[in-house]
Amino acid sequence: MPSSAVHRLDGLLCQNLRVTVKDGRIFIGSFAGTDQPLNILLLNADEFRLGPDEDPDGRYVGQVLIPWKLVVKVEAQNSSATHIALSDYI
């Protein structure tokens, strides 16, 4: 029987996540799952770099695996248009 954390993560499958990493990049893509060390797999992802010299439109990166040790923040948008943190799920 899966734990409640696994069940709640399962509810995030195919939802858009916004993942901020330590170097300031932001990835937005469809959540496809995690592995045992909680690395995050996003599909159809875009990468954004914030800063005065950066392209505000970002770039398409497709499929990306983000190491959990680089993750600063993970947000998901639920149906009522409010943001929830991944830490609420694990």
Q: For 12-67, write each residue's pLDDT tens digit.
A: 888 999 999 999 999 999 999 999 898 999 999 999 998 788 777 889 999 999 99
User: Which CATH number belongs to the domain containing residue 45 in this structure?
Assistant: 2.30.30.100
CB of 75 closer than 8 Å to CB of 84: yes
| Structural domains counted in the chain | 1
CB of 26 closer than 8 Å to CB of 48: yes
Q: Which domain, by its residues, includes 28?
A: 4-81
Does 89 reside within a domain? no
Run of H or E residues at 27 = strand 25-34
Q: Which residues contact 56 (CB under 8 A, 6 or more apart)?
A: 48
Does 87 reside within a domain? no
Does 90 reside within a domain? no
Banded model confidence at residue 77, pLDDT cuts 50, 70, 90: confident
Does 66 reside within a domain? yes
pTM of full prediction above 0.85: no
